[in-house]
Amino acid sequence: MTTRTPLMAGNWKMNLNHLEAIAHVQKLAFALADKDYEAVEVAVLPPFTDLRSVQTLVDGDKLKIKYGAQDISAHDTGAYTGEISGPMLSKLKCTFVAVGHSERRQYHDENDEICNAKVKAAYRHGLTPILCIGEGLDIREAGQQIQYTLAQLDGGLKDLPAEQAESIVIAYEPVWAIGTGKVATPEDAQEVCGAIRGRLAELYSQELADKVRIQYGGSVKSGNVAAIMAQPDVDGALVGGAALDSDEFVKIVRFRDQ
Ligand SMILES: O=C(CO)COP(=O)(O)O
């Protein structure tokens, strides 16, 4: 039986400027102890404009908190106004990058092909993608959540070699649970996260599927995190709103105490 270290990641979305980012990471650093980092991998995904400040703090104080970006260009360099490349993110020592968050799919028309190109761009530059997948309310009400989410998984992983896929993080985020306060039940989360692991085993191998961390995201907070984390195929959380409150995020990291 593979033991997967849970990954608790805060997706700040378009919140906190670089000064607020410094204050926030300092609070996390002050609150979190070595034993927290032994039990859980902790990461923040700030806006691009904060990354340099976060890197300076993490490097300077040798913090154990990891960080990453919320998006990556599919291209490595060139005339792509407004985009941020994999080489730029790896130069800032990012560990993670979110790919295909539902807000990017919805507001920036990112489809599975684009997400697949971004996953590959991340691996070209030593970054670990957090591939976000999950259904909207209409799909859930039609009972199609598994088929829909697995199709996004297939699309995002297309032609990805096992040596890369084994380190990917998958975030199952049902769109109807994001920012709505409507958290999926632990059973809902397990149903789809279990299906994702099953599909990884079909696409690659059971051994690989057992290594991959699958996060749940959508209205996670300190009051519901323990029940979600108790599910066998949930290996962490991708936290939006609750990650902006450092005390709340620390409680989420310490989900075993809740
Ligand atoms: O989208 C999310 C994380 O990526 C979830 O956001 P909330 O935790 O605010 O629902």
135 Cβ closer than 6 Å to some ligand 1 atom? no
Establish if 54 belongs to a structural domain.
yes
| Residue in the block written with tokens 């989900």 | 255
What's the domain range around 184? 7-257
pLDDT in tens, 74-121: 999 999 999 999 999 999 999 999 999 999 999 999 999 999 999 999
What mean pLDDT do residues 200-223 have?
98
Binding residues for substrate: 11-13, 179, 219, 240-241
Establish if 249 belongs to a structural domain.
yes
Angle formed by the axes of helices 186-203 and 145-157, nearest 10°: 40
Integer CA distances (angstroms), 122 to 59, 88, 127, 208, in order: 22, 11, 5, 19
222 Cβ closer than 6 Å to some ligand 1 atom? no
Residue 60: Cβ-neighbour burial (10 angstroms; 0-12, 13-18, 19+): exposed
Binding residues: 11-13, 179, 219, 240-241
Q: Which of 24, 41, 101, 103 is catalytic?
A: 101
What mean pLDDT do residues 226-241 have?
98
Question: What is the structure's pLDDT at 3?
Answer: 87
Establish if 42 belongs to a structural domain.
yes
Q: What is the mean pLDDT of the chain?
A: 97
Q: Cα(243) to centroid of ligand 1, in Å?
A: 9
Q: What is the percent of the chain with per-residue pLDDT over 90, rounded to a whole number?
A: 96
173 Cβ closer than 6 Å to some ligand 1 atom? yes
Q: How confident is the model at residue 181 (pLDDT cuts 50, 70, 90)?
A: confident
6 Cβ closer than 6 Å to some ligand 1 atom? no
Name which residue leads in pLDDT, 258 or 164. Answer: 164
Establish if 246 belongs to a structural domain.
yes
Residue 170 predicted with pLDDT over 70: yes
Establish if 219 belongs to a structural domain.
yes
Question: What is the structure's pLDDT at 12?
Answer: 98
Establish if 1 belongs to a structural domain.
no
b (16+ CB within 10 A) / e for 14-37: ebbeeeebbebbeebbeebeeebb
What mean pLDDT do residues 239-256 have?
98
Query: Complex ipTM, two decimals?
Result: 0.99
Q: Which of 110, 135, 173, 248 is catalytic?
A: 173
Distance CA 122, CA 232 (A): 28
What mean pLDDT do residues 168-176 have?
97
Establish if 209 belongs to a structural domain.
yes
Number of folded domains that form the chain:
1
Pocket test for ligand 1, best of 176, 238, 248, 252 (most atoms within 8 A of CB): 238
Question: What is the structure's pLDDT at 72?
Answer: 98
Establish if 45 belongs to a structural domain.
yes
Question: Which own/partner pairs from 65-68 qualify as long-range (CB within 8 Å, at least 24 positions apart)?
Answer: 65/25, 65/28, 65/29, 65/32, 65/37, 66/41, 66/42, 66/95, 66/96, 67/43, 67/94, 67/95, 67/96, 68/9, 68/43, 68/44, 68/94, 68/95, 68/96, 68/97, 68/98, 68/127, 68/128, 68/130
The CATH number that applies at residue 157 is 3.20.20.70
Q: Is 173 a catalytic residue?
A: yes
Q: Cα(161) to centroid of ligand 1, in Å?
A: 29
The answer to whether the beta carbons of residues 28 and 67 sit under 8 Å apart is: no
Question: What is the structure's pLDDT at 2?
Answer: 67
From the alpha carbon of 181, which atom of ligand 1 is closest? 10
Residue 1 predicted with pLDDT over 60: no
Question: What is the structure's pLDDT at 81?
Answer: 98
Question: What is the structure's pLDDT at 180?
Answer: 87
pLDDT in tens, 39-53: 999 999 999 999 999
